[in-house]
Amino acid sequence: MHLTARSFLPAVFVLAVAAATGCAPQETSSSDESSASTPSSAPSGASSCDAATLATETKGKLTVGTDKPAYAPWFEDDDPANGKGFESAVAYSVAKALGFGKDQVVWQTVPFNNSFAPGEKNFDFDINQVSISDERKRAVDFSSGYYEVRQTVVALKKSPYAGAKSAADLKGAKLGAQVGTTSLDTINEVIKPTQQPAVFQKNDFAKSALRNGQVDAIVVDLPTAFYITSAEVPDAEVVGQFANSAGTAEQFGLVLDKGSALTTCVTQAVDGLREDGTLAALEKQWLSDAVDAPVLK
């Protein structure tokens, strides 16, 4: 998330991810990939997407949720409100597209797993490296995807698993990931290790376990992996990434309440940012140091 917990890589990639979180902090089932490019269906909602007519949590305000800590490269200085980091910048760009100024955006702390759990939400949308999946769509709405991501393995440089070239090479490893993330799904469904994976409430705990040798490797999204290895656990390295399953990209989406009247307008905003090049520019600005990693077979 997310799993499967940020300027990006100020030293150089916390996916991600999240979690989920994710990785991403995501976090879920293999259905993530099958539905990544399709937003949840939602009612037509308000007839206008102008800020003044939108039925937001607080009239005249846009409430955005994310977890705490808010990890780089998705956020900077654990402060979602400063506009720095990829997801903070995306959130404010969506707000602007909907007609809300920066001073009209209110941030709400929302634990990763709570963001897509069933039940009424206390935010208008949540942004926290949450991968779109059919399973999650049963409980919440999603916008269209704002970022395509791959899951990545990180190990200490001295680890015998640092030289892994395939999922098979990792089967004997003690692996870890954040609870509820697609990173954890990747361990269970792609690597299928012989040992039960270690499951952590936060990516911070997973990173500590890696640093202390309690796990052989962790799985996070690619940008988070590069940030971890460059700024947080310099004794670690990116082992490799997994190709998208069935040729369909895993995507992060904005999370909304199930049946939210805002879903259509938020999706239109994300689509517009993709079409006019804003998302690509923000990705280049904040995630540009997440260079390609070897693909694990």
Write 279-285 long-range contacts (CB < 8 A, 24+): 279/90, 279/93, 279/146, 279/147, 282/86, 282/89, 282/90, 282/93, 283/86, 283/147, 285/7, 285/8, 285/86, 285/89
Which three-class secondary structure state does DSSP give residue 256? strand
Using an 8 Å Cβ cutoff, are 133 and 3 in contact?
no
Mean pLDDT by 10 residues, the chain (297 residues): 38 36 39 41 56 95 97 95 98 98 98 95 97 95 95 96 96 97 95 97 95 97 93 95 74 97 98 98 86 82
The reported pLDDT for the residue numbered 288 is 77
> Across the strands, what pairs with 221?
151
Task: Give the phi and the psi of residue 20 in degrees, each rounded to 5.
Answer: 15, -75
Question: Which pairs from 235-238 meet CB under 8 Å and 24+ separation?
Answer: 235/156, 235/157, 235/158, 235/211, 236/154, 236/155, 236/156, 236/157, 236/210, 236/211, 237/154, 237/155, 237/156, 237/157, 237/162, 238/152, 238/153, 238/154, 238/293
Partner residues linked to 211 by β-bridges: none
Residue 41: the pLDDT is 41
What is the crossing angle of helices 263-275 and 86-98, to 10°? 110
Residues with Cβ within 8 Å of 157's Cβ and at least 6 positions away in sequence, in order, are 235, 236, 237
Residue 243, pLDDT score: 85
User: Residue 90 in contact with residue 279, Cβ under 8 Å?
Assistant: yes
The residue written with tokens 């190990």 in the block is 155
Q: What is the pLDDT of residue 297?
A: 87
User: In this structure, are residues 57 and 123 in contact, taking their beta carbons and an 8 Å threshold?
Assistant: yes
